[in-house]
Structure 1
Amino acid sequence: MIAARSSWRIILAALLAAFALAVPSLARAEPLTIRIGFASIGVDNRPFAGGDTLAVAHAEGYVQRALQADPDVKVEWYFFKGAGPAVNEAIANGQLDFALQGDLPSIIGRASGLKTKILAATGAHAPTYLAVAEGSSIKGVKDLRGRKVSIFRGTNNHLAVVKILAANGLTERDLQVLNMDTATTNAALASRDIEAAFGNFPLISLAEQKKAAIVYSTKGDDRGLERQCALLVTEAFERAHPDLVAKVVKALVEAARWSSDETNRDALIAVWAKSGTPASVFRYDLADQDLRYRNAPIVDPFFVEQYRVQAKQAKAFGLIRRDVDVTGWFEPRYVDQAVRELGLERYWERFGPDGKPLGS
């Protein structure tokens, strides 16, 4: 009886194995969804962003095309009105695999224990603006002492503002700071409920409507005052799917190459304008900046040094409570591989820790 049962088990196992071979779809892996988040959202909650190369990779389908050979892989894009802090929360809750994130939110996330890797730059040299109410007597940063000023805390504008103030002999304590998001800032500045605001391209739109005036920009100032943004990936996703990480990063590099071509300047602005922000705003934002400089995806010594310095500054300025070590945080092998495969080794200029071109 025991022998008979064993024989039936052997036969049943053989039948199941043969059935699995005959119907391979039963053994196919579960579909995988790559979740990519933006620390921004378009006007009226449009699912588009502007001002960086990941926005181009999204709007023009670079990432989707890179994954065409992977039918079981799809991509979902998420846009966060709450900017960097909301993206950090989504990463902490396991809701994102990749994210476009500014320097300070990334540093705050690392200080809080988020396990991420910085893969590539997506806005390594972005400017910050100071706008004031129309007709204001404020002519520059030094005039802000004692004034009511909006700063969107926790965003990469925040750390840039702290550095700008320090360069002008001021701290946040010298101002009457109000923590406001972009929409609230624009409304308050237009109604003169505040006297000034720091921010990026949405302030340009307000100035074009004659509801504010821009009196300062970091363009042409110290490189160290620029804002940095990067593409992040969670450590768990990078360990599990390095092949997919390579494809996403290569798609970003292809988008960055297109976005860095001066012949595409108008087309680039049109893509960013899908976010609902007027093309004239992006034209102003890109003025006096070389596209190769603005849109370089490479992780060079300057980029790494900015995060190292800013991590220290964030602690010194009380924006985080603990030291943040950036050692091991950057994973440039994917972007370097993509640059080599696309023959772009000499396309983007690399800068040293001091902001000077390497080899100069």
Structure 2
Amino acid sequence: MNLVFGATTTRGKTRQATRLASGAFDNLPFTLKWAEFSSGDDALAAMLADRVDIQEAQPTALVVLAAAAATPWTTESSPVKVVGALRYGTPEGIQIVVPEGSPIRTVADLRGKKVAYSRGSSSQYFLVLALEKAGVTASDVTAVKMTMSDARAAFAAGSVDAIVAFDFNILPLFRQESLRVIARSADYDVPLYALITVRATLLEDPAYVEAIRIMLRRMSDVEGWVSANIDAASRLKQELDGVDPLDSEQIMRYGVSSVVPVSDELIASVVDQAKLFHAEGVIERLPDISVIFDRRYDLAS
């Protein structure tokens, strides 16, 4: 039996390298194959085409995908299912930053400005949420969707006014120049997750149901390995993503997540994203995003 994992390089090459270095996926009772994608959107498209079986997807990407479906997804028809999540443990979460010398001092000051964020990411959700809280609509800013590496380059070049990203993605910029943080998700009490997503049809086969259970445990083992081997993970970050040794340890420490089961809190957080995106005009139709969740996996067992 084969299982294809859609691995994205949104956070660089180190994420996949730590999966392999941890040994967590050695000696599986099935064949695990890796398919690499430059973005989560591409990985989701591959999953819909039956070329990927399991991946870590951003809630934002799934909300947008469900909203764009030709026929509204139901519990029975949803092509993907969320079977667990990675809860980010970053202390600051997502930040909105501007150059220290910028006249932008509050989120409200972003009106009419260019703001960069990684497409299909939780950064997009936090930007829309922060704007809404400040009385600014998403259409009041020029949102520039790009990969995180391109967003950092655009920000450093001054072609965008602000950047929205996880603290571990922004950290290298703080060393290069003086920055001002105008908002952080930690102050908004926003839970941050990556959703462990599988092809829905796999859950009709008991053998795949068990394989996914094993994968959830092994994914948790990866996070445990990184936490216990920060030095080794830090060296991988330096070698593969060209990160300064002064930053790499903190980036890896910030990036450690916890694998958690589907819960009321998890579902509510994604439903809230869908409602906000609909209210702010990011999506035209409000999907019932709760239909994508599957509660069968108790990760403590």
TM-score band (shorter)? 0.7 to 0.9
Judge which range, 125-134 or 247-256, deviates more. 125-134
Contact 1:140 1:215 in 2 (8 A): no
The CA distance in 2 between the partners of 1:181 and 1:222, in whole Å, is 25
Shift of 1:251: 1.1
**Counterpart code for 2:4:** R
Task: Indicate the residue corresponding to 2:289 in structure 1.
Answer: 326
TM-score relative to the length of structure 2: 0.81
State the partner residue of 2:34.
Answer: 77
Farther-moved stretch of structure 1 (86-95 vs 141-150): 141-150
Counterpart of 2:117? Answer: 151
Whole-Å separation in 2 of the counterparts to 1:78 and 1:185 = 24
* 1:121–1:133 distance in 2 versus 1, CA, 3 Å: same
Q: Which letter does structure 1 place at the counterpart of 2:279? A: A
Q: After TM superposition, give the deviation of residue 140 of structure 1 in Å.
A: 3.4
After superposition, the C-alpha distances for 1:172-226 in whole angstroms (9 at most, x for unaligned) are 222233233223222221111221111223322122222x6241452531222x4
2:176 to 206, 209, 221: 209
Could you tell me which amino acid in structure 1 is paired with residue 2 of structure 2?
A: T
Give the 3-state SS of the residue equivalent to 1:63 in structure 2: coil
Q: What runs of 5+ residues in structure 1 fail to find an aligned partner?
A: 1-31, 341-360
Residue ranges of structure 2 left out of the alignment (5+ in a row): none
| 3-state SS of paired residue (2:126) | helix
> 1:35 aligns to what?
4
Residue 245 in structure 1 maps to residue 212 in structure 2: yes
Counterparts in 2 of 1:79 and 1:139: CA distance versus 1, 3 Å? farther
SS of aligned partner of 2:187: coil
**Counterparts in 2 of 1:144-223, with a 5 A limit?**
144-200=110-166, 201-210=168-177, 213-218=179-184, 220-223=186-189
Post-superposition CA distance 1:277-311 (Å, at most 9, x none): 63654655578x796xx524233322121012112
* More relative contact order, 1 or 2 (CA 8 Å, 6+ apart): 2
Number of aligned residue pairs: 287
Q: Does the CA-based 8 Å contact 2:94-2:186 persist in structure 1?
A: no
Q: What is the alpha-carbon root mean square deviation over aligned residues? A: 3.0
Whether the 8 Å contact between 2:5 and 2:32 is mirrored in structure 1 is yes
Q: Which AA in structure 2 matches 1:339? A: A
2:61 pairs, out of 105, 110, 114, with 105
Higher percent of residues as strand: 2
Q: Report the identity percentage.
A: 21
Quote the residue 2:26 is aligned against: 64
Encode CA deviations 1:307-339: one digit per residue, 9 max, x unaligned: 1211222222223232222344222332x1x41
Flag the structure with larger Rg. 1
Q: Would the alpha carbon gap of residues 301 and 179 (structure 1) be closer, same or farther in structure 2, given more than 3 Å must change? A: same
- Indicate if the aligned counterparts of 2:80 and 2:199 stay in contact, CA closer than 8 A: yes
Tell me, what secondary structure is at the counterpart of 2:35?
A: strand
